A and B are shown apart, each in its own frame.
Chain A
Amino acid sequence: MVDQKVPVTILTGYLGSGKTTLLNKILSEEHGKRIAVIENEYGEVGIDQGLVINADEEVFEMSNGCICCTVRGDLIRVLGNLMKRRDKFDYVLVETTGLADPGPVAQTFFMDDEIRDEFTLDGIVTLVDAAHIDQQLGRSNESSEQVAFADVLVLNKSDLVSDESLAKLETRLRGMNSIARVIRSEQANVSVESVLNLSAFDLDQILERRPTFLEPEYPFEWTGVFHLEPGCYQVSLEEGPDPTMSLVMIPNQETTDEDLIESAEKCVRYFATPAVSINPNDFITTDTHINLQLESKGEKYFLINIPEEQNIGLFTQHTAEEFNIKVKRVSEKLEDNPNSSKSIISSIKERTWVAEHEHDDEVGSIAFDYLGNVDPDKINTWLGKLLAEKGVDIFRTKGFISYAEESRRIVFQGVHMLFTAQPGQEWGNEPRRNQLVFIGRNLDEDQMRQEFEQCLT
């Protein structure tokens, strides 16, 4: 049997963002794994169990002054010792101080040959205090770098801010880092699977799960989940700003953030198919891109038939507010007034989606998506030059490109100037394309785009 490398998750975030709470949650869950925790911060909350090693954060710069060679000496020492034991660990969590730059932590797993032989960086999880991150982003570079490096952004303490502020914050964070998965949580209450075993640095695996890994710009703004007994229901819309609105109805919709995101990705694909236009009093079918015709005056009704008790999710192009969307039960007894408050069904979950990215943060993401092939020599020269000149300001690079001569995708992964490119999945019959994301500070998107286009054949 081949020795498996031990996966490592880096947990970053400001003091008070909930890192220790999340650590405790991970450690207390039944997973049958031996987890070692390396802690750099002596938090106010103790860690409950598991092997906890306190290490002083020791950032080792090299004599050549190259920032990508900067590593964390404490990790090399502690991990080197941990891995000698016969009763090895199945997983390692590294908790950094609130002020830590995640770069050297991540680089340690690429730069040190002994660490690289034993460990694999699984992902970087950044906790964000939803109530305070806006100010923190303005005040400190560390905070925006922690967002920039993340594979998962946990928007913690989301119960302490309004939905509107959350949506704004999500827009801002997505603008800074478009490859991270954003999870909302209260008291760091996220599922362990959403932060461990991400294989975030194994792009090949990510691409298998999500063929287009670029975070979609959702073509819908609102989702409402309704719990419905068997029967017939009306979706009512008042006059709104647009003459049509498209939506997708998802059956058996669960209400966790993960479930909503999963359905959202499904809906992105439905929305990409031609819409079926329906008129008022027509039935809405599930898993279909539907375009509601709203030209007629006054309130309009569309019908839903529910054969058995379930939650349905409505993913709508515009927010519910704009049309005052309501779901009402249609009673079998005609004398009951369908507009009585009793028959109105309240949603059990609502959320708004970020429709567009606009931001003015220094840190941001640039995503390229081009069909066709690139020239291997040209792209290597360009990337080499780009990373040599701008590597300090480019935090993460992820993506894949296509060479005409190669039957597989060339998969990219980078932290600052450290960069790997290797063949991944076969293209098969899929159209050749190139998707690259750069997350960095003050990147010149127009220039980079121009230069990248020069590399296309």
Chain B
Amino acid sequence: MLHDGWSAQVNDYALACGWTPDCQILITGDVAGGLYAFEGSSGSLIWQHQEVHQGGLLALAVHPIRSLLATAGQDGVVHIWDCLQGKIVESLSPGKGWAEHLCWSNDGSLLAIAISRRVYVFTIEGKEEWRSTEQPSTVSSIRWSSTNELALSCYGRVLFVEPINNKITQQLEWPGSLVSMVLSPNGDIVACGSQDNSVHFWRRSTGKDAEMTGYPGKPSQLAFDQTGRFLATGGSETITVWNFQGDGPEGSLPGRLSIHPEPISSLSFANSGPLLASGARDGSIFVWYVDNNGDGDLVGGAFVGDLISTVSWRPDDAALAVVNSNGGVEVFNFKTRN
């Protein structure tokens, strides 16, 4: 169940939020470049900065192990921050254009940055380790498939590279516009939301691919659960859940979670258990317990007023942070009855 925790307000459209690994701090960024650190349990403001990126903020990523944070913006700059102090520890300006995507490697030693048609990999100390060649179009998503292998998607393809060895490990092609990408936790399944209202996925081990069509909208919201069994997808008011266990999902019927009155705008699985949090454009949020078929039961819900831009589980899954387009920051305590 979702229980009231705390709420706060930031100055502009809250773009993203993230918890520090020790659950102590919730970081929130707004599109105008406001950056805020809230005390995780009380919501009291620890520090804030405005206009940390000229032109606006585009991405933030909290470090998976240490109390560090990376932000990226329209100025093409990436800052690495100390989450406790609110101080910049490194500033990187690797290339020209909008710095749009950030991704820490699983062990936190490397930071991948997507700027326009290139991807850059830096060490946590701020040393440039690698840069990609120019891709055919602007990079739409970056994910680490393992500690030293990075996936990058753009129009027409997904590329896997080992930055340290400067080696391309795999190239998957599809003549369509891939707008988002997620990987299963073991890195075998690559799923991409496509501009033409479909989800395209590949199994890397077999090289087989499939296309899931029939979405009324663009399914840019994608989330794998931590076992790699379920892929939840947006693209309409209904959440479509594909089950990758056994022979599926090809030829199988997906689970369908319907209750949001407007299209899904954010999806996130909990860190353990088949719990899915979903937010929609109308400001409704729900938590689902996903069953074996990919269908689900509601275990909690709330309404926070405006388009939900990010839902983020606290690392211990005992709370859920939700930020919206009106600058609202809401933290709900989450408990399940056994």
Is there an interface contact between A62 and B195, defined as CB atoms closer than 8 Å? yes
Is there an interface contact between A84 and B13, defined as CB atoms closer than 8 Å? yes
Q: Who on chain B is nearest to A54 by CB?
A: B97
**Which of A84, A86, A112 is in CB contact (< 8 Å) with B195?**
A112
B116 within 8 A of A: yes
Q: Take A62-B195, A73-B137, A77-B138 as given contacts and tell me if A56 and B116 are in contact as well, using a CB distance cutoff of 8 Å.
A: yes
Within 8 A of B (CB), among A21-59: 56, 58
Within 8 A of B (CB), among A71-113: 71, 73-74, 76-77, 81, 84-87, 112-113
Q: Take A69-B196, A73-B155 as given contacts and tell me if A86 and B138 are in contact as well, using a CB distance cutoff of 8 Å.
A: no
**How would you classify the secondary structure of chain B's contact residues: helix, strand, loop or mixed?**
loop
Q: Who on chain A is nearest to B178 by CB?
A: A60
Is there an interface contact between A58 and B12, defined as CB atoms closer than 8 Å? no
Is there an interface contact between B137 and A62, defined as CB atoms closer than 8 Å? no
Q: Take A56-B117, A60-B195, A62-B195 as given contacts and tell me if A84 and B31 are in contact as well, using a CB distance cutoff of 8 Å.
A: yes
**Which of A58, A61, A85 is in CB contact (< 8 Å) with B31?**
A85
Which residues in B have their C-beta under 8 angstroms from that of A81?
31, 56, 58, 74, 98
Is there an interface contact between B138 and A73, defined as CB atoms closer than 8 Å? yes
Is there an interface contact between A85 and B56, defined as CB atoms closer than 8 Å? yes
A69 to B218, CA, bound (A): 13
A335 to B176, CA, bound (A): 85
Contact with A along B29-59 (1 / 0, CB 8 A): 0011000000000000000000000001010
Q: Take A56-B117, A77-B138, A81-B56 as given contacts and tell me if A86 and B32 are in contact as well, using a CB distance cutoff of 8 Å.
A: yes
Is there an interface contact between B177 and A62, defined as CB atoms closer than 8 Å? yes
Which residues in A have their C-beta under 8 angstroms from that of B194?
63
Q: Who on chain A is nearest to B11 by CB?
A: A86
- Interface size bracket, B side: 20 to 34
Which residues in B have their C-beta under 8 angstroms from that of A87?
32
A114 within 8 A of B: yes
Which residues in A have their C-beta under 8 angstroms from that of B222?
none
A140 within 8 A of B: no
Residue pairs across A and B with Cβ atoms less than 8 A apart, 21 shown, are A56-B116, A56-B137, A56-B138, A60-B137, A60-B155, A60-B176, A62-B177, A62-B196, A63-B194, A63-B211, A73-B155, A76-B195, A81-B31, A81-B56, A81-B98, A84-B15, A84-B325, A85-B12, A85-B13, A85-B31, A86-B327
Which residues from chain B sit less than 8 Å from chain A, CB to CB? 11-13, 15, 31-32, 56, 58, 74, 98, 100, 116-117, 137-138, 155, 174-177, 194-196, 198, 211, 217-218, 263, 325, 327
Given contacts A56-B138, A63-B194, A81-B56, 9 further A-B contacts (CB under 8 A): A56-B137, A60-B137, A60-B177, A62-B176, A73-B177, A77-B138, A81-B74, A84-B15, A85-B56
